[in-house]
Structure 1
Amino acid sequence: MNTLLKALRLLVCLLTIAIVTVFSARPTNAANLANGAKIFNANCSACHVGGNNVIIANKTLKKEALEKYEMNSLEKIKAQVTNGKSAMPAFAARLTKAQIEDVASYVLEQSQKGW
């Protein structure tokens, strides 16, 4: 019985450690939204101030437009920022992958908040 109790205590301890590890771990590539805001203001806001688009008025960064043009995912926004398209220039040579991740995450979050 004493051995069984020790084994049970050990199991509870290991499960507690596992649960704490899983729920407190932050992904190593988690976006920095404050940095994304800075990057947006320095590189994007001239054309996209307030989530609008001064070049092509209907292709805003607002939630409805992102959904309409199927740009409402982090991967698609990152691809657009990286490669550019139409009147939008590519930023792959100007921004690091981490900066692109940050600004894309910021854009997606702002679209969901309504800018």
Structure 2
Amino acid sequence: MKKILSVLLLCIAVVTFAFNRPALAADAVKGAKVFSANCASCHAGGKNLVQANKNLKKDALEKYGMNSPEAIIAQVTNGKNAMPAFKGRLKPEQIEDVAAYVLDEANNKEWK
């Protein structure tokens, strides 16, 4: 009985891990294209033309709690104050890609 149970559990584990697709990572390169087409009019170069202090540079993202993919995704999806919601305009994958691009630029590139 123990042997049958062990084999059954092993089969379940193998099937679970073998056929479970991993989550796709956001793509900052694709995000750059989406950003350029949808966000750059207000946020070119990581700036904010509406509220200058709420730019996309690392220190401002940290100050306003926007330094995680989840926070940026929520902001872009739902909008807030002068920021419009992009929920109906962009696919969730595009918004995830934009978040990856913004964080990549803020942390590693020229928006410092």
Deviation at 1:29, TM superposition (A): 1.8
Length, aligned pairs only? 90
Q: Does 1:60 align with 2:55?
A: yes
CA distance in 2, matches of 1:47, 1:100: 16
CA distance in 2, matches of 1:44, 1:84: 12
Choose the corresponding residue for 1:72, options 48, 63, 67.
67
CA distance in 1, matches of 2:44, 2:38: 11
Give the secondary-structure state (helix, strand or coil) at the position aligned to 1:81.
helix
RMSD: 1.3
Q: Does 1:83 align with 2:78?
A: yes
Q: Trace 1:44-59 onto structure 2 (pairs within 5 A).
A: 44-59=39-54
Q: Which structure is larger by alpha-carbon Rg, 1 or 2?
A: 1
Q: Trace 1:1-115 onto structure 2 (pairs within 5 A).
A: 27-113=22-108, 114-115=110-111
Give the secondary-structure state (helix, strand or coil) at the position aligned to 1:103.
helix
Structure 1 unmatched ranges of 5 or more: 1-25
After the TM superposition, which parts of structure 1 deviate over 4 Å for at least 4 consecutive aligned residues? none
Structure 2 unmatched ranges of 5 or more: 1-20
Once the two structures are aligned, what percentage of the paired residues are identical?
A: 62
CA distance in 2, matches of 1:91, 1:27: 26
